[in-house]
């Protein structure tokens, strides 16, 4: 399948389906002789795994990382890091009704017309289960970046119409709620909304804000490989993403240039950060701040009209175990994809020096 690889110097290729034996990845180009904290990688996987709270899918997967190559005696060897995560709690019978039917707003219809044959169980290759691989690869990169003083933290800042203005880069604070919103009172409201939506067999969308600190000035390539463009590419590759904005984002529409310009301080930092840490597609030393919008999950546990492969109108009712809202589990996915981009550009930047 084309399109299963990402990156230039550090590249990630993922493989596997939701109900196959395993999902996995090959992370190539990672610097050698770098100590890897495998439990820390596993912790990121645990933040994404299903069944972690009553507001997520109840599929029970350990998501245990198994490294096959590229790490010896606790350090990277500079060769491809190959790893897998086995699927242990797939219930393929829950998806037998999708052998001939298309779910509205899902990938069933498009995969059928592109490939002619696809694994419909749990969404197959289009399932968000694949993102566990990105989280693991991103966690390797986060450790490398942390050694360079670069930190990446994301959190939920909106579910449905409920939104917070609180900003945090403290993981303990963010993870204190199963929603992963650092604003305790707002998190409780978000959780209540998700629970109420789940009871109705419906789903709800949300948004995640990501903050990257410690990035030196100079990361990013003109013209087509701008840092902001590649971050957008990375997050739009995540399932259910419908929007991306950086810095002032769409609020810039209502601003004048005199208010939007980030004026310099004597040390080269800026008094404001409407640019979101990137100017001309290149990092400027300020925190990189972007926001990602996620749609409601497409699979509903209620009846909807649809069609089958013969073009006949049918009534379809979703089955199986699904998230009523993806954003709590998507936080480490956003962090992981951001880490892949920043690590790749960091190595490109060092190549110039």
Residue-wise pLDDT for 68-84, tens only, equals: 999 999 999 999 999 99
| Helix 38-48 with 327-351: angle, nearest 10 deg | 140
What does the block give as tokens for 26? Answer: 């090959």
Q: Which residue ranges in the chain fall short of pLDDT 70?
A: 1, 57-60, 89-96, 319-321
Q: Determine the pLDDT at residue 246.
A: 98
Q: Determine the pLDDT at residue 300.
A: 85
Q: Tell me the whole-structure pTM to 2 decimals.
A: 0.94
| Cβ pair 121, 18 in contact under 8 A | yes
The Cα–Cα gap between 176 and 108 comes to 36
Do you find a cis peptide bond into 223, omega within 30 degrees of 0?
Answer: yes
**Pairing outcome for strands 81-86 and 22-28:** antiparallel
Q: Which residues contact 154 (CB under 8 A, 6 or more apart)?
A: 174, 208, 209, 210, 211, 331, 332, 334, 335, 338
Q: Determine the pLDDT at residue 4.
A: 95
- Stated as kind and residue range, the H or E segment containing 137 is helix 131-146
Number of domains, the chain: 1
Domain residue limits at 21: 5-351
Q: Determine the pLDDT at residue 96.
A: 67
| Cβ pair 352, 16 in contact under 8 A | no
Question: CA 225 → CA 11, 149, 169, 237, 319, distances in Å?
Answer: 15, 23, 27, 16, 41
| End-to-end C-alpha distance for the chain, whole angstroms | 36
- Give tens-digit pLDDT for 253-265: 999 999 999 999 9
For residue 353, with 0-12 CB atoms within 10 Å meaning exposed, 13-18 middle and 19 or more buried, which class applies? exposed
Q: Determine the pLDDT at residue 43.
A: 97
The CATH number assigned to the domain holding 322 equals: 3.60.150.10
CA 16 to chain centre: 17
Nearest to 195 by CA among 178, 180, 181, 182: 178
Q: Determine the pLDDT at residue 89.
A: 65
CA 134 to chain centre: 8
The Cα–Cα gap between 203 and 314 comes to 21
- Long-range CB pairs of 214-218 (<8 Å, 24+ gap) are 214/148, 214/149, 214/150, 214/151, 215/150, 215/277, 215/283, 215/285, 215/287, 215/288, 215/342, 216/283, 216/285, 216/349, 217/268, 217/282, 217/283, 217/284, 217/285, 218/282, 218/283, 218/349, 218/352
Q: Determine the pLDDT at residue 234.
A: 98
Dihedral, CA of residue 276, residue 281, residue 283 and residue 284, to nearest 10 = -80
Nearest to 170 by CA among 179, 182, 178: 182
List of E strands, 160-201: 162-163
- Give tens-digit pLDDT for 80-102: 999 999 988 656 566 667 788 88
């Amino acid at each position: 399948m084309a399109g299963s690889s990402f990156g230039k110097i550090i590249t990630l290729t993922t493989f596997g389906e939701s109900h196959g034996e395993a999902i996995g990845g090959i992370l190539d180009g990672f610097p050698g002789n770098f100590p890897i904290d495998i439990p820390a990688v596993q912790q990121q996987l645990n933040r994404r795994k299903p069944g972690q709270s009553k507001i997520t899918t109840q599929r029970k997967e350990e998501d245990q990382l198994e490294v096959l190559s590229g790490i010896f005696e606790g350090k990277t060897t500079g060769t491809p890091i190959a790893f897998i995560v086995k699927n242990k709690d797939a219930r393929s019978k829950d998806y037998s009704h999708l052998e001939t039917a298309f779910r509205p707003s899902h990938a069933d219809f498009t995969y059928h017309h592109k490939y002619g044959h696809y694994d419909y169980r749990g969404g197959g290759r289009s399932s968000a289960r694949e993102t566990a691989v990105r989280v693991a690869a991103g966690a390797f990169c986060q450790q490398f970046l942390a050694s360079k003083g670069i930190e990446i933290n994301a959190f939920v800042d909106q579910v449905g119409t409920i939104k917070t203005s609180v900003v945090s880069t403290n993981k303990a604070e963010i993870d204190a709620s199963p929603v992963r919103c650092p604003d305790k009172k707002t998190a409780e409201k978000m959780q209540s909304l998700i629970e109420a939506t789940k009871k109705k067999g419906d789903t709800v969308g949300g948004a995640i804000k990501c903050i990257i600190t410690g990035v030196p000035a100079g990361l990013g390539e003109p013209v087509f490989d701008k840092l902001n463009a590649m971050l957008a590419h990375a997050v739009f590759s995540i399932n259910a993403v419908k929007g991306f904005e950086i810095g002032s984002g769409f609020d810039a529409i209502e601003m004048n240039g005199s208010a939007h310009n980030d004026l310099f301080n004597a040390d080269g930092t800026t008094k404001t950060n409407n640019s979101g840490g990137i100017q001309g597609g290149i990092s400027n030393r300020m925190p990189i701040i972007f926001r990602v919008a996620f749609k409601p999950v497409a699979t509903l546990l209620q009846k909807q009209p649809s069609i089958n492969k013969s073009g006949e109108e049918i009534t379809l009712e979703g089955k199986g175990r699904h998230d009523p809202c993806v954003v709590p589990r998507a936080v480490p996915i956003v962090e992981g994809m951001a880490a892949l981009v920043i690590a790749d550009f960091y190595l490109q930047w060092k190549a110039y020096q």
